[in-house]
Amino acid sequence: MKNYDTLVVGGGVIGAALAFELASLRQSVLVLDRQEPGHEASWAAAGTISPAPDQEAAAIAALGCESYRLYPDFVSAIEAATGQSAGFHPNGAFELFFESNAEAERDQRLKQIRAAGIAAESISLTEAKRREPAIGPSARAALWIADEAHLDPRVLTRVTLAAAERAGAEIRAHTEAISVITRDSRCDGVLAARTETHHVAESRVRTAEKIAACNVVIAAGWRSKEIGGAESWAPSAPVRGQMVAFGRVPGAPRTILRCERGYMAPREDGRVVAGSTLEPGALDKHSTAAGLQKILAAATAMAPALADAPVLETWAGIRPDSPDHLPIIGATDVEGLFIATGHYRNGMLLAPATAKYLAQWIVEGRASKYFEPFSAARFAAASRGVNP
């Protein structure tokens, strides 16, 4: 039986980026995914690469800024490995304010962003509309954030998976990790089940197997807590988010626009995607009338030209949240078992830094200062009644 250096459970953007980093460091790497890799939260995301934290995400600002700094090199590396474009556009973002106290809200938001060490400037609406003519007449104040980018998450994840394979990682679809195998407080691999569909007989066959690895990383998104032996370190929780894609229309925005009620980002092909909702616990991937209504109202208030655009696609995805809404990254009490989940609303942003520093931790045994607030021990310790 082959013994991999590292087995990564989950082929979303986090697992893919980590597999790429580890394989680039000459590790033998296997990625397992219970479905086609890249088809869960990483398929559903909007693709704003935004280190400016909201109130809830202030604790991820340092990791977010570092990940944003790493993005151009990360993108160059996966593009060089594959010859494919990852479509990274560092074009900045406008935040818009609509309420009667818009200027006070803008000033408060400016303070919050600057406190995180991110450059932002208050600009007049005239100047904002000169730079982005799509901005509608009901906006009352605007902020400009230069360090922000957009990309298509489906493309980024596909190119990252391809880059990981080019670097030598093996990727197995339709193979579900059921539980981690531990012996004497050491992780030895996983028990997995592979599903094969036989189209002629119209049947599906599940085959169980043990896969040996020196290290196992649980990067299974919102389902991480379902994996036996990982649940106390990775108590992931699902939060559904809905999205809308508009077709090409004259006067559509070319930069990210955001307000308290929603956001939108342009795509390379002229579409504009807009989101989103926050629906804890919702597991089905339906769009709802209420969700779409909220997204469409915010989008057309920010960019009225979208009112005439065709709606090309609506979808919903499940974000991987955690009990304190912060990522869970790092080693566990079980030697060789690592966690990389809980990236919630920021997994696209956080993928390069999560992958780079977790790969270093696995290969060199060096924990990164960026992961200190996100210790995988904090929930396990709490469940045993001790301070993490």
Applying CB under 6 A, which residues contact ligand FAD? 9-15, 32-35, 37, 39-42, 44-48, 176-177, 219-221, 223, 227, 241, 243, 275-276, 317, 319-320, 341, 343-349
Kindly state the smallest distance separating residue 153's Cβ from ligand FAD, in Å: 6
- Nearest by Cα to 64 from 53, 80, 48, 55: 53
Give the residue with the Cβ less far from ligand FAD, 227 or 299.
227
CB of 96 to ligand FAD, least distance (A): 17
Residue 129 CB-density burial (10 A; 0-12 exposed, 13-18 middle, 19+ buried): middle
Are the CB atoms for 19 and 8 separated by under 8 Å? yes
Closer Cβ to ligand FAD, 142 or 216, answer by number: 216
Compute the distance between CA of residue 10 and CA of residue 16 in angstroms, rounded to an integer: 8
Distance in angstroms (rounded) separating the CA atoms of residues 82 and 167: 9
Q: How far is the CB of 44 from ligand FAD (least distance, A)?
A: 4
Q: Measured from the CB atom, is 276 or 332 closer to ligand FAD?
A: 276
Nearest distance, CB of residue 107 and ligand FAD, angstroms: 25
Burial of 2 (0-12, 13-18, 19+ CB in 10 A): exposed
Between residues 104 and 311, which has the closer beta carbon with respect to ligand FAD?
A: 311
Q: How far is the CB of 45 from ligand FAD (least distance, A)?
A: 3
DSSP 67-83: HHHHHHHHHHHHHHHHS
Q: Which is nearer to ligand FAD, 9 or 141 (CB)?
A: 9
Closest CB to ligand FAD among 223 and 267? 223
- Both structure tokens of 37: 């890799």
Distance CA 97, CA 176 (A): 45
Give the nearest distance from C-beta 284 to ligand FAD in angstroms: 13
Task: Tell me the chain's radius of gyration from C-alpha atoms.
Answer: 21
